[in-house]
Amino acid sequence: MQVSRWGNSLAVRLPADLVRALDLKEGDRIELHADAQGLAVSRQPRADEILASLRRFRGRLPDGAQLSRDAAHER
């Protein structure tokens, strides 16, 4: 990969196989971090993926768990 100037910033063009492997779309946010092999790339969840996981949760608590208003207001 080559680092290029993009306005006042530097940019890296990702190879197509990496884009496919990470299922990247225009506008996605990614994180780059150093690891033992060099540089690791990960995609942050999209808004629709976050909403889908929230819909699956739908406020369900594990069996036996209870919410207590009194405990929530204790200081």
Q: Where are the domains of the chain?
A: 3-59
**27 φψ region: left (φ > 0), alpha (ψ -120 to 50), beta (else):** left
Model confidence at 17, pLDDT cuts 50, 70, 90, reads: very high
Assess if CATH 2.10.260.10 describes domain 3-59.
yes
Mean pLDDT of 9-35: 90
Mean pLDDT of 47-65: 81
Which pLDDT score, from 0 to 100, does residue 74 have? Answer: 79
How far apart CA 19 and CA 73 sit, in angstroms, is 47
Model confidence at 64, pLDDT cuts 50, 70, 90, reads: confident
Tell me the residue ranges of DSSP E strands in the chain: 3-6, 9-12, 30-35, 38-43
Letter for the amino acid at 8? N
The answer to whether 14 touches 24, Cβ cutoff 8 Å, is yes
Model confidence at 75, pLDDT cuts 50, 70, 90, reads: low
